Amino acid sequence: MAEAASTTSTQTAAEKLALIKHNLQEVLNEEIISEILNKNERPLKIYWGTATTGKPHCGYFVPMLKIAEFLAAGSEVTVLLADVHGFLDNLKAPIELIEHRAKYYNFCITETLQAVGVDVSRLKFVLGSSYQTTGSSGAKYFMDLLRLSTAVSGHDATKAGSEVVKQVESPPLSSQIYPLMQALDEEYLGVDAQFGGVDQRKIFTLAVEALPRVGFAKRAHLMNPLIPGLQEGGKMSSSDPDSKIDLIDAPDVVRKKMKKAFCPPKQVEGNGVLSFVEYVLLPASALRSADGKPRFVVPRRDAEPLEYTDIESMRADYLADVLQPQTLKPATTEALLEILAPIRKAFESNEEWKETEQKAYPPPPAPVQKKKKEKKIGTRFPGAAKNEAGEGTELEVQPDGSVKGPDAQEASVGKSTEEALEKLSLAAEGVQSS
């Protein structure tokens, strides 16, 4: 830590800015960041938020590696576990499970950051409900949310969330509240910049335009590119199990998914395997190496191994068919497993984390065996009633973290206001104590 602090103190404002912008696709209002860095009176304050819905996957390494670079540039970073946003996004995080999902995310993010060499003691973890729904801050937040709602049209709110909030034929009003809250979080977390994927650009633009209308400052916004999923087209997503690898997937599961990954020869665009090397494995190798330089090695059976320190030469070799899928996939798989190993080990040795995973993402119930109808001559005896057999009463957990079934609405938002607030309070206490 002392060495890191010393390195940060010798960096110029230009060097810090270059590190903050490294590998980003876009930066909005860069001048806000430059002014703070040039004044050098205090650290730049950045927040990254994630809704606690489906299980975190390997795509999360991309923001984790950027957080490492923000810290290396001397920034203060807040990780927002956005639990309230979870059920605003088309009820992806049922209120019954919200405490467990928040704890599960805390475990995953902490271990993922440590796996790529980040000192988590330098991070601040905040649960959204801790200031959005409780106490005097909750009342003030709600008032400011109402104020902000008068400054944003329904059309603009819908447009802002269109690439982030799950789209359905008749979207609930919560899909419009979601982007307003994400914008307002910038003010309540007291940051200079918000960081996220480029899919959040419309929410970031809304924040820039709308916050000054209610007397709050506009912030800068830092955007990561989205890495393609393992299947053709689209991004890594919790709603598509085949497109992603979970952080705690067993090695045999990782190998099986990587073997099926979309990786056509001599095609670099949309190639999820190549993109994963570019945005995860190369930067991670730099963080973990003694000299701070990236390095990715591809063993070959009948030739010398290929070694890469940049993605450009790797892309060129792939286009020229020097680097081929049958060698790239295994090399990527083994490099990924090396990073995942400490996360998996931490999970296996932590009974609380394993118990939390089961509570946060309960497995679907076993199919109910229907009772045989009892035959009685001269009657219409129907056998066991549906409720006795358990039919029509179970909730079915979806890959994205939501639930389906006759009681899905109640499970997602709570039976009453009091119950919802109690669940959110429990979640805040659970995360803070973990």
Which of 174-179's residues contact partners 24+ apart within 8 Å by CB, and which partners? 174/87, 174/88, 174/89, 174/90, 175/88, 175/89, 175/90, 177/88, 177/145, 177/149, 178/85, 178/88, 178/89, 179/203, 179/206
Q: Which fold has domain 251-360?
A: Tyrosyl-Transfer RNA Synthetase (1.10.240)
What's the mean per-residue pLDDT of the chain?
84
The pLDDT tens digits of the residues spanning 174-195 come to 889 999 999 999 999 999 999 9
Composition of the chain by helix, strand, coil, percent to 5: 55, 10, 35
At 152, is the pLDDT very low, low, confident or very high (cuts 50, 70, 90)? very high
Q: Which residue has the tokens 């801790």?
A: 130
Q: Give yes or no for residue 385 having a pLDDT over 60.
A: no
Give the model's pLDDT for residue 238.
59
At 8, is the pLDDT very low, low, confident or very high (cuts 50, 70, 90)? low
Domain 13-224 has CATH 3.40.50.620: yes
At 239, is the pLDDT very low, low, confident or very high (cuts 50, 70, 90)? low
Q: Specify the 3-state DSSP secondary structure of 268.
A: coil
Q: How far apart are CA 53 and CA 400, in angstroms?
A: 7
**Domain range list for the chain:** 13-224, 251-360
Q: How far apart are CA 20 and CA 221, in angstroms?
A: 11
E strand or H helix at 349, and its extent? Answer: helix 325-349
Q: Is 14 left (phi over 0), alpha (psi -120 to 50) or beta?
A: alpha
pTM: 0.81
Q: Give yes or no for residue 387 having a pLDDT over 70.
A: no
The residue ranking higher by pLDDT, 87 or 5, is 87
